[in-house]
Structure 1
Amino acid sequence: MNPRLAAARALTPVLLGKASLGTTLPEYLNRVAPRDRGLAQELAYGAARWQPRLSGLAEKLLQKPFKAADKDLEALLLIGLYQLFYTRIPAHAALSDTVGCVDALKKSWGKALINAVLRRAQREGQELLTTLEHDPVIRTAHPRWLQKSLKAHWPEHWEEICAANNQHPPMTLRVNQRRISREDYLAQLQQAGLAAQPCTFSSDGVQLDAACDIQQLPGFAEGYLSVQDEAAQLAAHLLEPKPGQRVLDACCAPGGKTCHLLEYQPQIAELVALDLEASRLKRVQENLDRLQLSARLIAADARNTAQWWDGQLFQRILLDAPCSATGVIRRHPDIKLTRHPEDISALAELQGQLLDALWPTLAVGGILLYATCSVLPTENREVIAAFLARMQGARELDLGLKCGLTQPQGRQLFPQINGHDGFYYAKLLKVAAQPRVQEKLS
C-alpha cells in the first residue's frame, strides 16, 4: 500500500472521533512495504500534530467543508498539506503521489479537488498561514478548548507548553540496574555507535541523541532496559517500596511502572497489578517476562474492590490514574483530536472515585502515590485537594523533586522543561484509618 494512502486511511477514523492512531495505524503499516513504514507513520502523526493549523489552512482553500462521508478525502488533503509545509519531500512528489491516492478511495470527483487545493496551497499557503497567525488555534496548532484551558491555568507557560507539544519527543530508556549499571550500559551504547546521555532526575534514565529501533539497542531482549520517559521513571523512586511490603499498581498497563517497581525493590513481598482490560494485561505480562520479573495480574475495575481485593492491606499504592494525557501530546498528537472539554470533568470524577475506593486498602502508615500524565489542574491538584478535604486520615508528603513547579498540592512537571513529558505527582500518607469527613459528621 502507498504510505500516503496508509496514513490517510489510519487518520480518517481519528478525524471522525472514532479511534486513535495507536489503534488504527498498525493495521495499515502492515500493508506498507517495510522501507516505507517510517514515512507512513511520520505522515499520519505529523498530520495529526499539525491538524488544527492544517485544517485552518484547508478551510481557507476550500469552497465548502468536507462531509462526514468524505473524511477520507479530508485526511488525504491534510497528509498532502503536511508534506508541503513540514517535510523535505519535493513538492512535485508530494502533489503527484498524494493525488494519485484518490483513485483508491473510489471518489474520482475528488481527484481534481485535491490537486487544485494542493497546488493553490503550494502557491499561496505560506501567505495564508501568515494572515491566520493571529488566531492562537492556528498559531499553536491546538484545539481552542485546550489552548484556552492551558492559557487560563498557566498564563506564563502556556505557549511554551504548546510549542513543546508540537516537537518530536526524545527516546528515553530506563536501565534495569538489577542487571547492569547505568554507566556500563552507556558504555555499551557507545560501543554500538549510539550516542546517549544520562538523565538528570532519574538515576536509571538514559536519553538517546537520536531515536532508533528498539531491536538495535544492546541488551533489549535480555532485559537490560526498557523504553520509558524520564518523568514516568520517577514513580518508583517516589513511592519507595521497602523489602517485605505488599504493593498495588492500580491502572498498570502497559506495565512500565510495574516493572520499574520490581527492579527498584526486588524484595517486594507481592506486587498486585490491576487493569480494567484483560487485553492490556498481555502487554504487561510480555514486559514482565522479558525482564524476568513476576507480579500478580488482575483484570478488574479498581473501584470495585469487592471484585479483586482479598482484604490484605497494601503498604504502598501507585495510582497512575486515567487522564486526558495532555502531558504526552508530543508522543500522541492525535490527543488533540480525540479529547474534548467534557472529558476533563468526567476524568476528574473518575480519579476521585479511584482514590476513594483504594484508600481503604492502604495500611495505616502506608503511602499512596497519585500520578497522571496531564498538565491540567482539574485532574491534578484539584482532585488531590478535594480528596484531602474529605479524607481526614490522609496527609500530603513532600515529594523532594527538583523538577517541575510546586503546586498547592503535589508537583506539576511540564514537557517544555528538562525534556521529559508533562506529568503530575502527589504523595499521600495514611496517618489513621479515619472515616470520611461527611461520614463522621452524620
Structure 2
Amino acid sequence: MNDSSISTSPRKSSKFLRPDAAKVLFQILENGQSARECLPKIQENYSDKDKAWLQEMVYGVLRHLPVLQSWLRILLDKPLKNKYKVAEHLIMLGFYQLAFTRVSTHAAVSETVAATRQLKVEPLKGLVNALLRNFIRQELDKQDIKEPQVRSGLPKWLFKRLQAAYPDQLEALCEEMQQRPPIWLRVNRQVIDKDKYLALLDEQGVACELSSEHSDGLILQKSQDITQLPGYQQGMFAVQDGAAQLAAAYLNAQEGDLVLDCCAAPGGKTCHILERQPNLSKCIALDIDDSRLDRVRENLSRLNLKADLVAADATQTESWWDGVLFDRILLDAPCSATGVIRRHPDIKWLRKNADIDTLVTLQRQILDTMWRILKPGGTLLYATCSILPEENYLQINAFLQNNPDASLIPVCNETENANPGRQILPGEKQMDGFYYARLLKS
C-alpha cells in the first residue's frame, strides 16, 4: 500500500468507516506516518459524528496495540503479507470493538467481515470471520494478560525505560498513559477575563472545572466542538493543556523584555507569553519548519496578537540572529513527546529507542546555542513534553555542571537539588507529562 491507497474523494456511506480506519492504522504502523498526516485526509469525507468515530477507533487500537497483537498471534497461524497485510489491522480493529467498545457482537463481526471487500482483500473474508468468532468463543478478552509490558499498552523499549525511571510509579503511570485526556482551555486575558468567560460558558450549559495553579486555565468536563464555544472567532480562548500553560508563567516575561520562543510551533506558548505581557520590546517565534509556522500565524491572527516569525535552524544563529542578546528565552526543545502519548497514542509506535540519544544530543546543541545568545542576568526556561530523565533532569544536570555561569531558579516549592526542575507526569492534576527547568545566567 502507499499514500494513494487512501482515497480523499467525498463519501457519505458509513460502510467505508471500518476499511478506512484499517487503512489509517496501516499507514501509521507499517509506513510510519503520523496520525496527524493521514487521519484528517480520511476524516474530511465524513460527518462530524463519523469523524469522531474514526478517531476513537484508530486511537483505541493504538492505545491497546500490544494486547491486540497478542490475541492476533494466538489466533493467526502465520502473519499476512503484501497486499493482505492491511487485513491484520482490520482484524485488530474488530478485536478492539469486541473487547473495548459497546458495539454489538453481530455488528462488530459482520461489518468487519464486509470491510474486506472495500479493502480488496475479499479472499480473506472467511479467515476474518473465523478469527473474530474464535475470539468470541475463546473469550480471549476475559483472560488475564500475564506480561506487564503487554498490559501497559507500551512498546518494549519504552516500558523498560519507564520501569527503570519510575519503578514505584510504573503501574499507575502506564494506566494513566492509556486514558483519554481532558480538553483544557486558556482564556485570553487580553480579550476577556476568566470569570466573564466562565459566565458565557455557563449560559450555554458548558460545564468546566477550575485549576488553582492556572490563572488562565479551564478544564472542560466533556468533549465539545471547540469552534462552537462562545468567543472562538473573537479570540477569547485557545486550546492548550494545563502543563503547557505553565510555560508563560514560569518564563515570567516583563515589560520591555526581548523574548525568544525557540521551537515555537504551533504557537500556543508564544501566544500565552504575549497575552500575559503585551508590552514586550519584541517577541520572536523561531521554528526550523516554515510550514509549521503557518499554525503560529493562524493562532496569532485569531487571538489578535503579534510576534516576529522566523523560519531557521536555531543552532545556526548567523542565519537569523541580529546579535542583540535576549532577556528571556523559552526553549521548548525537540523531544520524544512521551508525556503526551495519551493525547497522541501513535507516538508510541512512531518513536524508536534509538531516537532518544539523537534527541538528547540535539537538545544539548540547541541549549548551548540559546545560552550563548542570552543576556547576563537573563532567564532561560527549558521545557519538554517528555517524561524520560535523559531528556530532562539529567540533561539539565549535565548543563549545570558544564556551565558555571548557570544557576537553577526553582519553578515550584519542591526540592530540585538532585533532580533539578519540575517533572509533571501524565494525569498529574489532569495535565499532560511535561518537564521544566528555569536557568539564570550570572
The amino acid across from 2:143 in the alignment is: T
Unaligned residue ranges in structure 2 (runs of 5+)? 1-10
CA shift, 1:80, in A, is 1.1
CA shift, 1:69, in A, is 4.6
- 1:410 matched to which residue of 2? 421
3-state SS of the aligned residue for 2:428? coil
- Choose which of 172, 189, 196 in structure 2 pairs with 1:184: 196
- Choose which of 64, 73, 91 in structure 2 pairs with 1:50: 64
- 2:225 matched to which residue of 1? 213
Unaligned residue ranges in structure 1 (runs of 5+)? 432-442
CA pair 212-246 structure 1, distance change in 2 beyond 3 A: same
3-state SS of the aligned residue for 2:412? coil
* TM-score, scaled relative to structure 1: 0.94
- 1:285 matched to which residue of 2? 297
- Choose which of 143, 151, 156 in structure 2 pairs with 1:130: 143
1:166-192 CA deviation, whole Å, 9 max, x = no partner?
111001100111211111111111111
1:14-35 CA deviation, whole Å, 9 max, x = no partner?
1115211111100011123443
The amino acid across from 2:441 in the alignment is: K
Distance 2:180 2:139 in 1: 24
- 1:247 matched to which residue of 2? 259
Distance 1:68 1:411 in 2: 47
CA shift, 1:265, in A, is 0.4
Distance 1:5 1:79 in 2: 10
Q: Does 1:8 align with 2:8?
A: no
CA shift, 1:378, in A, is 0.7
- 2:403 matched to which residue of 1? 391
Distance 2:85 2:438 in 1: 45
Contact 2:165 2:389 in 1 (8 A): yes
3-state SS of the aligned residue for 2:45? coil
- Choose which of 97, 102, 127 in structure 2 pairs with 1:83: 97
Distance 1:22 1:12 in 2: 14
CA shift, 1:407, in A, is 5.5
- 1:381 matched to which residue of 2? 393
Contact 1:196 1:206 in 2 (8 A): yes
Correspondence list, 1:16-415, <5 A: 16-67=30-81, 69-126=83-140, 130-131=143-144, 133-400=145-412, 408-415=419-426
CA pair 95-253 structure 1, distance change in 2 beyond 3 A: same
Larger mean CA deviation between 270-279 and 179-188 belongs to 179-188
1:344-370 CA deviation, whole Å, 9 max, x = no partner?
111111100110111111000000000
Distance 2:35 2:59 in 1: 8
CA shift, 1:416, in A, is 3.0
3-state SS of the aligned residue for 2:137? helix
- 1:427 matched to which residue of 2? 438
Question: Alignment RMSD, CA only?
Answer: 1.6
Distance 2:394 2:324 in 1: 30
CA shift, 1:117, in A, is 1.0
Contact 1:318 1:368 in 2 (8 A): yes
CA shift, 1:152, in A, is 0.6
3-state SS of the aligned residue for 1:60? helix
